[in-house]
A and B are shown apart, each in its own frame.
Chain A
Amino acid sequence: MAARGRIKDLWREQRLFEQRAITATVLIGLLAAVLVSRLHWLQVQRYDHFTDLAQGNRVRVEPLPAPRGMIYDRSGAVLAENRPAYQLELVREQVKDVEATLAELVDIGVLDPDDLDFVRRAIRSRRPFDSVPIRLRLSEEDMARFALHRHRFPGVDIRTRLARHYPQGETAVHAVGYVGALSESDLERVDREEYAGISTIGKIGVEGTFEDALRGRKGSRQIMVNAQGRPVDREAVLDEPLRTVAAKHGADLYLTLDLEVQRVAEQAVQGQRAAIIALDPRNGEVIALVSRPGFDPNSFARGLTRAEFAALNDDLDRPLFNRALRGTYPPGSTIKPVVALAGLEHGLVTPTTTRACPGWYSLPGSSHRFRDWKRSGHGSVALIEAVAQSCDIYFYALATQLGVERLQEFLGRFGLGGPTGLDVGGEKSGLLPSPAWKRSAFKRAEQQVWFPGETVIFGIGQGYMTSTPMQLAQMTAVLAMRGASHRPRLVRALRDPVTRVETPVPPAPLPTVQLRDQADWDVAVQSMVAVMQGGTASRAATGAEYSIAGKTGTAQVFSIAQNARYDESTISERLRDHAWFIAFAPVEAPRIAVVVLVENGRSGSGTAAPIARSVMDAYLLRKFPPAPGEDVDTAIADTGDGE
């Protein structure tokens, strides 16, 4: 009530207002000072920091992947090359909602819903600013469809990339290998930085082993981007110096493979499960490396669907399995020339020592009969005859005389029981058994004992002993060169694609196998010549224009190793013996050593030897059988004799 009665004092109110106005002015001044000091802090004190941040915002470093090196055969035929391909790529940090984006891409039909899981994993495994391929090899139609909806997909774009292409298809796939999609496990063992902008990696073969040389060194390019991450061409306005570091091209590789011989070899075992290796015994160069069945490496480079991969992986014939390097089989009679050499070396036999072959062999004090492959026996045979006829009894006895240790040691000198050291690696070691090995390999005491009977069958390459075709090829090369050998290799030279400077890979000599008497080599070689002349493989040598030394072999299949899903009719086929044949030619100056293995091929002489012959003909005489499907008339005209 008192307030209402209060009289307005105009002068006092005026002064009050002026005071308040002054206070307001001071406060405004203080707040302005706060603003100014904030600006000072941002623009002067923290200027460098924010400049870096602004720089990081607008300048993105884009990787420039190096073109992968080409792969050629020994005469320059292209085995692997690069072709431009269009692919869809996604940068995670520029996409608001990855799931929604992927779903929309499926909706417009440029992404296969079956691939979504793989795409998600691929996106997760990369860094947020990496451009991750989510769809390879876009068709023209796909590109048009995406272009129509492009505005809806910030952070997703079509890129041109060089994609691997193998013009020879299946040919030499197990030697050349392939590139496949870079997987999470790959990324864990490689330098991620080096693989920025790359979506594939060499998986096996030359592509896998020489990955680093082939890949080259990636370059980089600074690009200016806007907030949506799209590159902008505003340099004229924004005047920005952008740096580019050129990529270093991957090296081209020249292989030792002879594509024409390789083709002949592959054709010869078409439709079979087989492996062929041809070496130049003088320097270890691999002329041909075949493992059949094969597969098309382009499907891997293109990106396999899960169904495609499952079909390859579950195929009973195991096309992905490299039989030449990783298949381990009992070498059978192919090791007889070497066992014979062991006998000579240890003075247990001479070339003239004869032995009676009644068709069976028994250890002293045992009634068990080890049979010869020929039930009636070979009569009285000396060393050369024993090898030529592949007399088992002779080698049963010789093995027993040698004993397991000496046998194992001597075979080991020829590279058996360990990888040959082929430059692409991935080899299995096979097995040279010994009592020591048996003790460590078995658990139960009664199994750890080495029985004399096991030595007997060791002498003909049966029992525990296994070898890869590669090992037998190396053994054959050692025999051919009378002890001298080289580490086998597939890569002959690297070439810088820019300077065109070639860097040859020099042959790597291995320690020479030394014998007490060099003449023993000739005995062994003679025995292998006898195989081709009146011996087990004489038919395969008919009409040869050069001299051949060879040896047949069969490997028994005791059981079906893999899963038991074969149907009734194929079981018997899969239980047939594997057929082996080793050979080198010409005998006087060997230029090629060949090993042929045909799984369940039954007969080394009947199945494997003719295949080896065709490979040698192709290499030594450049004589090629007509390709299947080629016109019959020209085929006849080519061979001339019209047989």
Chain B
Amino acid sequence: MREDVESTARRTLTRSTRILGALQLDGPLVLGLALIAVYGQFVLYSASGGDWNTVVRGSIRLCIGALAMLVCAQIKPGQLRRLSPWLYLVGLVLLIIVDAIGYVGKGAQRWLDLGLFRFQPSEIMKLAVPMACAWYLRERALPPDGKTLLILAVIILVPTLLTIVQPDLGTGLLILMSGGLVVLFAGLQAWIIALLGGASVAAAWGGWYLLHDYQRQRVLTFLDPQSDPLGAGYHIIQSTIAIGSGGVTGKGYLQGTQGQLEFLPERSTDFVFAVIGEELGLLGALLLLALYLAVVARALYLASQMRDTFARLLSGCLATIFFVYVFINAGMVSGLLPVVGVPLPLVSYGGTSMVTLLAGFGMLMALHANRKLAA
């Protein structure tokens, strides 16, 4: 009898492995992503004040993301590689169009209205830039030499700057980082890293004068939230109160006063991590963090198994940038980093980042499934 159950379980497992294999999906990675997504929808119900509509719409978005992942997982590595420069160029053109519209309309412009949905070209760039970098590096000897680095710098910095002037500092920096990560994985020499580090400190110093007022304000309030407790500092103060008052075990699901009584702003979008901290406590936050780390670890492991440079660099970048999202969001919500509009991956409600992220993981799994092949 018991053997029967065991064998049934084993058979189910083998069958699912086979299905996943056929779909070029990686079991542990999909499981990790699915757990995060389910956890996210569970929290979202509370964070939206018990609104089923939000959960339903969130789940629909999740399904679209899953579909994108599934589609991307079917792309052959060679196709993906050849697609890279074209995707990058299309993204660049769209970015310029958006900037031009924004310039004419004299206001912030981040998206193109395609009638059915709004579409952010900068979101494509989060994928297109690392793809283009990996594509370019594939033909070059590693670690990259000076000329290669110069061209990479152009590939990365042009879309970064075009995004920052929208103005969207947060996404711009993420694009910069995703490209940078590819270069780092390509084996950028330590002395250059040190040099760039020094240069970026200097640039940050000089960049201060180029920032918009609201961006400077964000930095200032990050350094001293109490200086403007009802204005820009309000978000950080309220989110740290929410997390801190959650304690180890939390106030209980749907019991977070900061979130439920709306003291916490943007509680279902960028600040949803504070709801987790408040209602589910340190344990709830650690559980989520553990799931994220598991996903990142698995993705990095898959990347390290790949034989092709393009596949390896792109996969390494996609795995690491996922953690960067998590760290920036959680760091911002807990008061470690300034407030930049970065959603918590797979949990925050709204935005198109979920689709991009899952598409990225789809590519990663496609590359892994065909790891023996040269891309």
Give residues in A with beta carbon < 8 Å to B: 3, 6-10, 12-14, 16-18, 20-21, 24-25, 28, 31-32, 34-36, 38-40, 42-44, 46-47, 49-51, 53-55, 57-58, 224-228, 232, 234, 237-240
Check if B261 is an interface residue, CB within 8 A of chain A. yes
Indicate which residue in B148, B277, B300, B313 contacts A39 across the interface (CB closer than 8 Å): B277
Check if B136 is an interface residue, CB within 8 A of chain A. no
Closest chain A residue to B257 by CB distance?
A: A58
> Are the CB atoms of B185 and A17 closer together than 8 Å?
yes
Residues 206-260 of B contacting A (Cβ, < 8 Å): 238, 240-248, 254-255, 257-258, 260
List, in ascending order, chain A residues with CB within 8 A of B258's CB: 54, 57-58
Bound together, the chains give a CA A596 to CA B142 distance in angstroms of 115
List, in ascending order, chain B residues with CB within 8 A of A50's CB: 240-241, 243-245
> Are the CB atoms of A54 and B245 closer together than 8 Å?
yes
Looking at the assembled complex, report how far the CB atom of A271 sits from the nearest CB atom of chain B, in whole angstroms.
Answer: 59
Looking at the assembled complex, report how far the CB atom of B342 sits from the nearest CB atom of chain A, in whole angstroms.
Answer: 14
> Are the CB atoms of B286 and A36 closer together than 8 Å?
yes
Bound together, the chains give a CA A24 to CA B248 distance in angstroms of 29
Check if B147 is an interface residue, CB within 8 A of chain A. yes
List, in ascending order, chain A residues with CB within 8 A of B297's CB: 25
> Are the CB atoms of B300 and A51 closer together than 8 Å?
no
Bound together, the chains give a CA A158 to CA B314 distance in angstroms of 62
Indicate which residue in B186, B244, B255 contacts A49 across the interface (CB closer than 8 Å): B244
Q: Could you list 8 further interchain pairs (A-B, Cβ under 8 angstroms) beyond the known A12-B142, A42-B335? A: A3-B146, A3-B147, A6-B145, A8-B142, A20-B184, A21-B185, A39-B334, A238-B260
> Are the CB atoms of B289 and A43 closer together than 8 Å?
no
Kindly list the 7 A-B residue pairs having the minimum CB-CB distance in the complex, ordered from nearest. Answer: A50-B244, A3-B145, A54-B245, A6-B141, A227-B262, A42-B244, A16-B187
Looking at the assembled complex, report how far the CB atom of A199 sits from the nearest CB atom of chain B, in whole angstroms.
Answer: 26
Looking at the assembled complex, report how far the CB atom of A227 sits from the nearest CB atom of chain B, in whole angstroms.
Answer: 4
Check if B365 is an interface residue, CB within 8 A of chain A. no
Check if B59 is an interface residue, CB within 8 A of chain A. no
Given contacts A8-B141, A20-B184, A21-B303, contact A46 B261 (CB under 8 A): no
Bound together, the chains give a CA A238 to CA B313 distance in angstroms of 49
> Are the CB atoms of A32 and B289 closer together than 8 Å?
yes
Closest chain B residue to A24 by CB distance?
A: B320
Bound together, the chains give a CA A42 to CA B255 distance in angstroms of 19
Looking at the assembled complex, report how far the CB atom of A486 sits from the nearest CB atom of chain B, in whole angstroms.
Answer: 60
> Are the CB atoms of B262 and A28 closer together than 8 Å?
no
Indicate which residue in A18, A32, A40 contacts B282 across the interface (CB closer than 8 Å): A40
List, in ascending order, chain A residues with CB within 8 A of B255's CB: 237-239
Indicate which residue in A17, A232, A237 contacts B187 across the interface (CB closer than 8 Å): A17
Bound together, the chains give a CA A510 to CA B112 distance in angstroms of 94
> Are the CB atoms of B142 and A232 closer together than 8 Å?
no
Check if B346 is an interface residue, CB within 8 A of chain A. no
Give residues in B with beta carbon < 8 Å to A: 140-143, 145-148, 184-187, 238, 240-248, 254-255, 257-258, 260-263, 277, 281-282, 285-286, 289, 293, 296-297, 300, 303-304, 307, 309, 312-313, 316, 320, 323, 327, 330-331, 334-336
Indicate which residue in B286, B300, B303, B336 contacts A38 across the interface (CB closer than 8 Å): B336
List, in ascending order, chain B residues with CB within 8 A of A238's CB: 255, 257, 260-261
List, in ascending order, chain A residues with CB within 8 A of B262's CB: 226-228
> Are the CB atoms of B185 and A53 closer together than 8 Å?
no
List, in ascending order, chain B residues with CB within 8 A of A39's CB: 243, 277, 282, 285-286, 334
> Are the CB atoms of A227 and B261 closer together than 8 Å?
yes
Bound together, the chains give a CA A40 to CA B243 distance in angstroms of 10
Looking at the assembled complex, report how far the CB atom of A250 sits from the nearest CB atom of chain B, in whole angstroms.
Answer: 35
> Are the CB atoms of B300 and A24 closer together than 8 Å?
yes
Indicate which residue in B187, B248, B257, B304 contacts A13 across the interface (CB closer than 8 Å): B187
Closest chain B residue to A9 by CB distance?
A: B141
> Are the CB atoms of A3 and B141 closer together than 8 Å?
yes
Looking at the assembled complex, report how far the CB atom of A346 sits from the nearest CB atom of chain B, in whole angstroms.
Answer: 79
Closest chain B residue to A47 by CB distance?
A: B247
Indicate which residue in B141, B186, B263, B331 contacts A7 across the interface (CB closer than 8 Å): B141
User: Can you report 20 A-B residue pairs in the complex whose CB atoms are below 8 A from each other?
Assistant: A3-B140, A3-B141, A17-B316, A21-B303, A24-B316, A32-B323, A35-B289, A38-B331, A39-B334, A42-B243, A43-B244, A43-B282, A50-B243, A54-B245, A55-B245, A58-B258, A226-B261, A232-B261, A234-B261, A238-B260
Indicate which residue in B243, B257, B331 contacts A43 across the interface (CB closer than 8 Å): B243
Closest chain B residue to A49 by CB distance?
A: B244
Looking at the assembled complex, report how far the CB atom of B298 sits from the nearest CB atom of chain A, in whole angstroms.
Answer: 12
> Are the CB atoms of B246 and A43 closer together than 8 Å?
yes
Given contacts A28-B320, A31-B323, A46-B244, contact A54 B286 (CB under 8 A): no
> Are the CB atoms of A224 and B261 closer together than 8 Å?
yes
List, in ascending order, chain B residues with CB within 8 A of A228's CB: 262
Indicate which residue in B244, B293, B303, B313 contacts A51 across the interface (CB closer than 8 Å): B244
Indicate which residue in B187, B240, B244 contacts A20 across the interface (CB closer than 8 Å): B187
Closest chain A residue to B263 by CB distance?
A: A227
> Are the CB atoms of A53 and B184 closer together than 8 Å?
no
The listed residue with most B CB atoms (<10 A of its CB), out of A32, A36, A226, is: A32
List, in ascending order, chain A residues with CB within 8 A of B142's CB: 8, 12-13, 16
Looking at the assembled complex, report how far the CB atom of B269 sits from the nearest CB atom of chain A, in whole angstroms.
Answer: 16
List, in ascending order, chain B residues with CB within 8 A of A31's CB: 323, 327
Bound together, the chains give a CA A32 to CA B286 distance in angstroms of 10
List, in ascending order, chain B residues with CB within 8 A of A9's CB: 141
> Are the CB atoms of B141 and A54 closer together than 8 Å?
no
Bound together, the chains give a CA A484 to CA B137 distance in angstroms of 116
> Are the CB atoms of A21 and B245 closer together than 8 Å?
no
> Are the CB atoms of B247 and A43 closer together than 8 Å?
yes
Indicate which residue in A7, A35, A240 contacts B336 across the interface (CB closer than 8 Å): A35
Looking at the assembled complex, report how far the CB atom of A43 sits from the nearest CB atom of chain B, in whole angstroms.
Answer: 4
> Are the CB atoms of A53 and B245 closer together than 8 Å?
yes
Given contacts A8-B142, A13-B142, contact A35 B244 (CB under 8 A): no
List, in ascending order, chain A residues with CB within 8 A of B248's CB: 43-44, 47
> Are the CB atoms of B316 and A21 closer together than 8 Å?
yes
> Are the CB atoms of B260 and A35 closer together than 8 Å?
no
Given contacts A31-B323, A47-B245, A227-B261, contact A20 B285 (CB under 8 A): no
List, in ascending order, chain B residues with CB within 8 A of A13's CB: 142, 187, 309
Looking at the assembled complex, report how far the CB atom of B151 sits from the nearest CB atom of chain A, in whole angstroms.
Answer: 12
Bound together, the chains give a CA A50 to CA B309 distance in angstroms of 49
> Are the CB atoms of B336 and A34 closer together than 8 Å?
yes
Closest chain A residue to B148 by CB distance?
A: A3
Looking at the assembled complex, report how far the CB atom of B313 sits from the nearest CB atom of chain A, in whole angstroms.
Answer: 8
Given contacts A3-B141, A237-B254, contact A58 B245 (CB under 8 A): no
Closest chain A residue to B249 by CB distance?
A: A43
Bound together, the chains give a CA A198 to CA B323 distance in angstroms of 56
List, in ascending order, chain B residues with CB within 8 A of A47's CB: 244-245, 247-248
Looking at the assembled complex, report how far the CB atom of B318 sits from the nearest CB atom of chain A, in whole angstroms.
Answer: 12
Closest chain B residue to A52 by CB distance?
A: B245
Closest chain B residue to A228 by CB distance?
A: B262
Bound together, the chains give a CA A240 to CA B247 distance in angstroms of 17
Looking at the assembled complex, report how far the CB atom of A223 sits from the nearest CB atom of chain B, in whole angstroms.
Answer: 12
Looking at the assembled complex, report how far the CB atom of B355 sits from the nearest CB atom of chain A, in whole angstroms.
Answer: 24
Given contacts A6-B141, A21-B300, A36-B289, contact A42 B261 (CB under 8 A): no
